[in-house]
Chains A and B, each alone.
Chain A
Amino acid sequence: NAGVTQTPKFQVLKTGQSMTLQCAQDMNHEYMSWYRQDPGMGLRLIHYSVGAGITDQGEVPNGYNVSRSTTEDFPLRLLSAAPSQTSVYFCASSLALGLAAYEQYFGPGTRLTVT
């Protein structure tokens, strides 16, 4: 199993550009999530999904869109990039059963810089 994969690993955008961060998992996990991690801050939840076709907002959803058309894929779209979105983005997945739901399997991350 590849686990959780993310592409690209690095990205530089200009202010106002849009792009999609890709995330895929091959563990048949129901739950998938997107986080951002900034220096001096804990991981913050952007959006999450409890299954195909179902998404919901996390703590910091503004400026981001998600969709979940399949169990495996959960792309994150930046609508109009801003310097405040410079961050490391982690995608995560987990099972939906009891305590296992809390074990988040993270992808390797995407380092995004917006100039």
Chain B
Amino acid sequence: RKEVEQDPGPFNVPEGATVAFNCTYSNSASQSFFWYRQDCRKEPKLLMSVYSSGNEDGRFTAQLNRASQYISLLIRDSKLSDSATYLCVVNIKPGGGADGLTFGKGTHLIIQP
């Protein structure tokens, strides 16, 4: 089983709809979880961290389910500008550091007018 798995998509969603996608991770010792956004031919940027209690930032909600070992990202009232690839990132090492991060391959989201 791969360490971090995501449905690559693409998810084709009409503007204004709600879309959700999950990311599963295999290491039960994983410490921290994040969603990054990557636009076409650009660098990844942190979208939000995922806390145990869930995390909401405007139209974006991230949830963690430790028992089933997955995190989710929900986007409400989707905008054309939400079209991007969403990378799931899991950290297995306490104390930080790039060597503890595992990046998923990403889920490609296309918002259609």
Query: Interface digits, A89-107 against B, CB 8 Å rule (1 contact, 0 not)?
Result: 0101010111111111011
List of B residues within 8 angstroms of A31 by Cβ? 96-98
List of A residues within 8 angstroms of B78 by Cβ? none
List of B residues within 8 angstroms of A90 by Cβ? 43-44
Instruction: Please tell me the number of chain B residues within 8 Å of chain A, measured between CB atoms.
Output: 24
User: When A41-B105, A42-B4, A99-B32 are in contact, do A106 and B98 touch as well, CB less than 8 Å?
Assistant: no
List of A residues within 8 angstroms of B46 by Cβ? 103-104
A50: Cβ under 8 A from any B Cβ: yes
Task: Check B102–A42 contact: CB distance below 8 A.
Answer: yes
CA of A106 to CA of B41, assembled, Å: 13
Tell me the A62-115 residues at the B interface (CB within 8 Å).
Answer: 90, 92, 94, 96-104, 106-109
A56: Cβ under 8 A from any B Cβ: yes
A60: Cβ under 8 A from any B Cβ: no
List of A residues within 8 angstroms of B44 by Cβ? 43, 90, 104, 106
Q: Quick one: closest A residue to B31, CB to CB?
A: A102
Chain A interface bracket (under 10, 10 to 19, 20 to 34, 35 or more): 20 to 34
A13: Cβ under 8 A from any B Cβ: no
Q: Quick one: closest B residue to A40, CB to CB?
A: B105
CB distance from B109 to the nearest CB of A (A): 17
- Give A contacts to B, CB under 8 Å: 31, 33, 35, 40-45, 48, 50, 56, 58, 90, 92, 94, 96-104, 106-109
